[in-house]
Amino acid sequence: MLELMKRRTIDLLVEQFWKRGYLTVSRKFGTYLPEPSKIGRFDVDIVAKYKNNYALGVTLTNEDIDDNLIIDRLNFLATRQTKYTNKKVLLFIGVPSGLFANAKIIVEKLEPEARKNIRLFPISEKAAVQRRSSREKGNVLFS
């Protein structure tokens, strides 16, 4: 059950990447894409690319937010650069809606350099369902 919830939150974070034009290079629980390797000593859920810019994606759970190493983890991941061109890599963080305020407080505790590279997103199941139902109500082009 826990793995199913983690898979769904990663799917919802992938949708956030797609909305911003990123293509998923690797992701956890993917069918056709490889699983991302560790960055330093930390796991990431998604690696994506937009033109020549890369981004990392992580989803946080209640246990992650209560962890003492969360600030070190986010500082490390948010200050990554590409290997040869030294471009900064964005960090997308997906958090369940109920934990969004706690995650925002944690992000505010990070170094200013790391905060610039972080995009925090509330992940909710309701938003995905609402979009789908509004799409179904549209006019049918082909029958």
Average pLDDT, the chain: 84
pLDDT of residue 48: 92
In the predicted structure, residue 12 carries a pLDDT above the cut 70: yes
Q: What is the pLDDT of residues 49-79, one digit of tens each?
A: 999 899 999 988 888 888 888 999 999 999 8
Is residue 98 in some structural domain?
yes
Q: What is the mean pLDDT of residues 71-100?
A: 89
How far apart, in Å, are the Cα atoms of 82 and each of 107, 112, 123? Answer: 22, 20, 27
Number of domains present in the structure of the chain? 1
Is residue 80 in some structural domain?
yes
Q: What is the mean pLDDT of residues 13-37?
A: 88
Q: Which of 10-19, 90-99, 132-141 has the lowest mean pLDDT?
A: 132-141
The domain of 6 spans 2-29+36-130
Is residue 95 in some structural domain?
yes
Q: What is the CATH number of the domain that holds 78?
A: 3.40.1350
Is residue 125 in some structural domain?
yes
In the predicted structure, residue 102 carries a pLDDT above the cut 60: yes
Is residue 121 in some structural domain?
yes
Q: In sequence order, what are the residues at sequence separation of 6 or more whose Cβ sits closer than 8 angstroms to the Cβ of residue 101?
A: none
Is residue 94 in some structural domain?
yes
How many CA atoms are closer than 13 Å to the CA of 117, on its beta-carbon side? 22
Is residue 77 in some structural domain?
yes
In the predicted structure, residue 129 carries a pLDDT above the cut 60: no
Entry field: residues in the chain: 143
Is residue 50 in some structural domain?
yes
